[in-house]
Structure 1
Amino acid sequence: MHFDKSIKKLDYVHLSKYFFAFSIALMVIGVVFLSVFGLNYSVDFQSGSNVDINITKPMTKDEITPILEKLDIAHGTTINEGEQRISIRFNEVLSEDQDSVLKQEISKLDPNAAFEINTVDTDMARELAHNAIKSVLFACLGIIIYVSIRFEWRFAVAAVASLLHDAILVIAVFSIFQLEVDLTFIVAVLTIIGYSINDTIVIFDRIRENMRFAKLKTDEDLKELVDHSIAQTIMRSLYTALTVFIAAFFLFLLGGESIKMFSLAMSIGLLFGAYSSIFIASPLWYLLKIGKKKKPAKAA
């Protein structure tokens, strides 16, 4: 109860300059890492072959490496070990002969091994990457149009700015730690955008509702209205974010390998999304709103 009262009494708009500075610093660091290191694309976004092997007997890299040498692969390979699963990433597409040799040699170590081979050529990888970028841009455009119609353009700008903030920071974390980016990562980013805009709209709706009955004469009156609106909805936002975060986090810990990166991206994005909805979107709308008031009137 003491925590509830303390967090509701915060002056969010006054503190927004610190939140903005913190977020800008994080995004700058993220963009720098992204420019220097790039992203660790999976086979979904770059040409090559990815071989997932479900094993029934223990198998180590030392046992697999001699097999890969027999394939005469010109470019490098990456081997990821698991308790019942081994993933081998080839930087070039396996031929039918190489595919056959790999299966035969692995089967000698584990006759019950099951193989799943995914192959993407250069053109397909490029098309997938472009379509992923388009999907995020179209989602943001749709949000701008919808929020502008339902609220006003300042709400739309503030909402999309907070969404881009969330997306950039999630991408930056994956770049910094060189986590694998696959199609499920794009799904996670779009899901985060959808969740974050829902959380943001709840606060915006409360601001709009409070404005109907408020007598706003000064910027201070508007600031108090924004602070009061955030205070009215903040515990709902935090409880909802925490509930979904717990589910996503345990999916990351206990879920299968195929949804691991999706769950991790969701967990990170949920934290950034809750933060931006409360501390970025609404204070940014306030700045845009008072900016309009301060514009000098046109001479008659």
Structure 2
Amino acid sequence: MRYKFDIVKNRNRYFMISIIITLIGILSLAIFGLNKGVDFKAGTTLDITVPGKTLEKIQVVKIINDSLTYQPSTTTIAEDRASARFDKVLTMIQVNTVMDAFDKFYGVKVEHEESTVDTELANELAIQAIVAVLIASLGIMLYIIIRFEWRFALSAVVGLFHDAFMVIAIFSIFRWEVNLPFVAAVLTIIGYSINDKIVVFDRVRENLRFAKIKGYDDLSELVNRSIWQTMSRNINTIMTVLIGAVCLFVFGSEGIRIFSLAMIVGLISGAYSSIFIASPLWLVMKNKSVTSARKVLAAKE
């Protein structure tokens, strides 16, 4: 059976696209690193709400600058709410000084929320985030080895690392902020991504039971058929979640936008790797074992 679009035939192109993006991501991480939010570096975030007032960024920054000897690293405004992030830990006296300045300028009692992270806690959170991703990947690999085989497991884990790193690379390249919601998004992406890959692998395994594999062409046709048989299901699943993530990004609050943005990037990457990376990679490894087995049989004859 032939398909108008042969996914397996063009696998090297897809591998190359992923390799190029990965190299660019590694270069960006080596030079610039990640734009760590206050969750992963020492600092203080002040979320200030002025009831009944529409805030302007220029005025908010001026009030803070007049109150402190240094400026916030970032300041975002959403109607009556302002979020100022500092790369230094503010003392209680400094926080009260800023709040008094806002009270005096706007003539109302200003509400605020303060989030502070010290250096030791920031480093611990970063390490725990990496460990969480590694443990999740290891657990998934063991599950697939038990249920399928090691080639499926290796292909799936490569795909998962591909998806996780694509999100990290994109955030590094565009200097988007990385915080705890970002880590939650990466772990969520791993869950959705492995679901897509399991669906395809399960169909490959099912088709493999009744197939007579004599060489590469038979394997290639089997993988192509399996991918196309599960294509509509995978796309519908991803699109359903993607629409929700886009709505969260457009209509959600400032605090959840990092999560939804990471989800959008990860869902697209996960769909791509499930179709164009994981299954073709399994084909490459499986073809080598089939070729080796044929050589052994030929030698015995």
Give the TM-score normalised by structure 1. Answer: 0.92
Q: Aligned with 1:59: secondary structure?
A: coil
Instruction: Choose from 196, 216, 219 the match for 2:216.
Output: 219
Distance 1:262 1:171 in 2: 13
In structure 2, what residue type is equivalent to 1:102?
V
Q: Which residue of 1 aligns with 2:65?
A: 69
Distance 1:54 1:246 in 2: 30
Change (3 A) 1:76 1:247: closer
1:156 paired to 2:153: yes
Q: Which residue of 1 aligns with 2:100?
A: 104
The alpha carbon displacement at 1:86 in A equals: 0.9
CA contact (8 A) 2:249 2:257 kept: yes
Q: Which residue of 2 aligns with 1:280?
A: 277
- Segments of 5+ residues of structure 1 without an aligned counterpart are 1-5
CA contact (8 A) 2:64 2:71 kept: no
Which residues in structure 2 correspond to 1:108-147 (within 5 Å)?
108-110=104-106, 111-147=108-144
Number of residues of Structure 1 aligned to a counterpart in Structure 2: 294
Distance 1:271 1:286 in 2: 22
Distance 1:258 1:62 in 2: 21
1:39 paired to 2:34: yes
- Segments of 5+ residues of structure 2 without an aligned counterpart are none
1:10 paired to 2:5: yes
The alpha carbon displacement at 1:34 in A equals: 1.8
Q: Aligned with 1:12: secondary structure?
A: coil
Distance 1:115 1:78 in 2: 17
Distance 1:75 1:131 in 2: 30
CA contact (8 A) 2:72 2:84 kept: no
1:177 paired to 2:174: yes
Which range is displaced more, 236-245 or 8-17?
Answer: 8-17
**Alignment identity in percent?**
48
CA contact (8 A) 2:215 2:291 kept: no
**What is the CA RMSD across the aligned residues, in angstroms?**
2.0
1:95 paired to 2:94: no
Q: Aligned with 1:44: secondary structure?
A: helix
CA contact (8 A) 1:47 1:119 kept: yes
Give the TM-score normalised by structure 2. Answer: 0.92
The alpha carbon displacement at 1:244 in A equals: 1.1
Instruction: Choose from 17, 20, 44 the match for 1:22.
Output: 17
